[in-house]
Amino acid sequence: MKLRPDERLDLSELLRDLEHYRPRRRGWTWRRPLPDARIGPFRYAQVSEPLARSVPLPSAHAFGDIDPQCDVTITTEIASGRFEDDVRRMRMAAWHGADHIMVIRTTGQSHFDGLIEGTPEGVGGIPITRKQLRATRKALDAIEDEVGRPINFHSYVSGLAGPEMAVLFAEEGVNGAHQDPQYNTLYRGINVHRSFVDAAEAKRVMANAGLLQIDGAHNANATAKEAWKVTPELFVQHAVNTAFSMAVGMPAEQIALSTVPPTAPPAPKLRLDLPYAVALREVFAGCRFRAQQNTRYIESDTREATVTHVLDTLISRLTSADVQSTITPDEGRNVPWHYNNVAGVETARQTLMGLDGLDELLAMRRDGPLGELVRELIERGVLFLQEVLDQGGYHAAVESGQFVDSGYFPERRGDGIARDPEAGVGAGTVVPREPGYGAPVCSHFGANVYAESEGKACSAYGGCTLCDPTKIRYVDELDPDDNVERRLEAPLTERARGLLRPEVEKAGDGVVCVTLFVPDKPDVARAAGLELARRMGLRDPEVIHARVLHPAEGSVFEVKGVLDVALRADELVLPEQEARLPHAEIEAFVRPRNLHVVAATAGEDEHSVGLQEILDIKHGGIERYGFRCHYLGTSIPLERLLDAAEEYDARVVLVSTIVTHRDVHREQMRALHELATRRGLRDRLLLISGGTQVSDDLARGCGMDAGFGRGTTGQDVASFIVRRLREAPDA
């Protein structure tokens, strides 16, 4: 497939003949540096080969439209939920200098124990299927020909299907992946034994395919209450994954530490973050470094995200980075817009080019406070590791909650993430291999009857799919109603007719954005913005960013739509809504009370993703406040739910449901209420239902205490629980 700069990407051509597509290469490709290069009127010290086609930085017109490319690989993360839209955004990002395209898997895939094929649109990312990978890599092949530079494609080898994902990535030309068994254990609740056994296999496959591995240690300071206090632990997490990776055969140059500066202004960022960056690079010399902004501080404000992004990139230039990630305010408002990806890439490029040759101009003093802070951090990390060893090793440390504890080591607060080594998703699924076990692919770790064969281990059976791609079975999409061809019908028809629509996420979504200032107090101003959008005839108007400039004088907003209407504030009807309780207030109530929560999807419902989001600490679930969560799984009988509530002396039952045929969801909610009443549990239990189409009115009408729908967070649910339990006689 060939691209022309003056023509849009032909999606029909992209999808044609995918069953015969083969990736042109495996493994990661780095930029080619140009030492001491002269581009236009300037000399550069830290640049790489230029692009054949690109969009220069905004101010380049003042310097002869030069477009120097920095020496650092630039990342952009893309996942609108539809790969046919994502490839167009990838093309835009590549023209602006990105050569590391990360695609986020759906949250639910972390809990699948096998590959998914032919599945529909994802939630919180995109479904990683062979078709999605193949179409995306095919598009990137054409895009890299257009811009004149190799582009690395990246996703996640995590969850219960890690080895299978690694093989799939090797087969389909994916160039890099996240792989960290600790991420699975701490943030996905996956059994620690299963996680590390899977990781050994996945890492060996990745190593042999030349994939760059990025770890997930940065999730500790993206999750911790006070991120700068977990820096000693991060040395240990990086060390565990790096040592484990090397032990299974991955060379150091294929290992990239995901380094995240732990603070953002108004914290004294440079004084805290720079010593940490220096210390990491000293301890892990020989490995690669992927620098990323800490997403826990990302709000919906473009300016705020950009300033922190620039400061983080300054740290990269003061120390080093092989891969510079880019962050946008989409992290804070969950609206993956085309131009925010490009803005993030340009922020990194503009900063890196502006700081070109910084190490020639400045030298960091190591005989002063910086050196002392670096030494202290390394010592704390070593002592943390010693404590892990003294306690009995990594599994024992996880069981006791040593990780993501909010104390600055050696201080301990006792609020870390604790996981039972014998529990979790996939517990009990690690089994010994039979003596005659034959590996399905030659890139294999552990016992394998073919390992003693001459040449490649797979030669005894004529080659595996990694060596003979003709053996790969290609599965297209299976859902007749939700698939890429059906999704493309309307936009391709309109394109053929010469119609154009504005868009920000999906083809032809018709969304536009305006910025407006409303001179009144925040709640009135917000209501005014929404009412103006309704009077313009917009469906589902939404304020995607709000910033108070003065509590009485006014606020500035970003609102979807074209706005040319004035409203009287005193004519507005302000909606009544219950505010979330502050995190600290929720936790102060929960932790001393040892509150247990039983959760499941009931009846014959297999949808677990939304409920996991409400529970899991990684995504701000209620675990973070100290609730003891007991997730029973999917399709759980109502009797078992209440049995578990009695067993754990729980105060709350969370039931996830979707809207179903014959109103089964209503029947289940009513039946749960009636069963709890008959068993004498109803007065003690809070029964809460949730689902993408559940409303509070619907749930209460079926006997529940509350219902939560699309967009609900763990803080929403926890706020409701705390408010109701405060009212209870035994509060």
The pLDDT score that the predictor gives to residue 121 is 47
- pLDDT tens by residue, 478-488: 777 778 888 88
Domain boundary among 571, 595, 618: 571
The pLDDT score that the predictor gives to residue 604 is 67
- pLDDT tens by residue, 94-147: 999 999 999 887 766 777 777 777 654 444 567 788 999 999 999 999 999 999
* Conformational region of residue 159, where left means phi above 0, alpha means psi within -120 to 50, and beta covers everything else: left
Q: Is residue 621 part of a domain?
A: yes
The pLDDT score that the predictor gives to residue 601 is 86
Q: Is residue 75 part of a domain?
A: yes
Domain boundary among 445, 474, 503: 474
Peptide bond into 541 cis (omega under 30): no
The region of weakest confidence among 208-212, 489-493, 676-680 is: 489-493
The whole-number average pLDDT for the span 432-460 is: 87
Which are the contacts of 62, defined by CB distance < 8 A and separation ≥ 6? none
Query: Are 354 and 320 members of one domain?
Result: yes
| CATH number assigned to the domain comprising residue 32 | 3.20.20.440
Q: What is each CA distance from 120 to 13, 16, 435, 691, 694, in whole angstroms?
A: 21, 19, 39, 18, 21
Query: Are 151 and 190 members of one domain?
Result: yes
| CATH number assigned to the domain comprising residue 651 | 3.40.50.280
Mean of all residue pLDDT scores within the chain: 89
Which structure tokens are listed for 194?
Answer: 């299963």
Query: Are 198 and 99 members of one domain?
Result: yes
333 vs 681, higher pLDDT: 681
Query: Are 594 and 540 members of one domain?
Result: no
- pLDDT tens by residue, 188-200: 889 999 999 999 9
Query: Are 130 and 211 members of one domain?
Result: yes
Query: Are 351 and 450 members of one domain?
Result: no
The pLDDT score that the predictor gives to residue 334 is 53
| CATH number assigned to the domain comprising residue 522 | 3.30.30.60
Query: Are 528 and 599 members of one domain?
Result: no
The pLDDT score that the predictor gives to residue 564 is 35
Bridge partners of residue 212, in order along the sequence: 176
Identify the H or E element spanning 599. strand 596-601
Q: Is residue 507 part of a domain?
A: no
Q: Is residue 126 part of a domain?
A: yes
Max mean pLDDT range (296-310, 563-577, 711-725): 711-725
The pLDDT score that the predictor gives to residue 567 is 41
Task: Provide, rounded to the nearest whole percent, the portion of the chain with pLDDT above 70.
Answer: 93
Query: Are 553 and 588 members of one domain?
Result: no
Query: Are 567 and 587 members of one domain?
Result: no
Domain boundary among 371, 396, 413: 371
| The total number of structural domains that make up the chain | 4
Query: Are 591 and 535 members of one domain?
Result: no
Per-residue pLDDT for 573 more than 80? no
- pLDDT tens by residue, 267-291: 999 999 999 999 999 999 999 999 9
Query: Are 542 and 599 members of one domain?
Result: no
Q: Is residue 424 part of a domain?
A: no
The pLDDT score that the predictor gives to residue 576 is 67
Say if residues 118 and 477 touch (Cβ distance below 8 Å): yes
Q: Is residue 458 part of a domain?
A: yes
Structural domain including 703 reads 583-727
Q: Is residue 723 part of a domain?
A: yes
The pLDDT score that the predictor gives to residue 324 is 96
The region of weakest confidence among 75-79, 307-311, 357-361, 592-596 is: 75-79
Per-residue pLDDT for 606 more than 50? yes
Per-residue pLDDT for 455 more than 50? yes
The pLDDT score that the predictor gives to residue 562 is 35
Query: Are 632 and 720 members of one domain?
Result: yes
565 pLDDT band (50/70/90 cuts)?
very low
The pLDDT score that the predictor gives to residue 125 is 67
Per-residue pLDDT for 452 more than 80? no
Q: Is residue 5 part of a domain?
A: no
Which are the contacts of 227, defined by CB distance < 8 A and separation ≥ 6? 220, 221, 262, 263, 294, 296
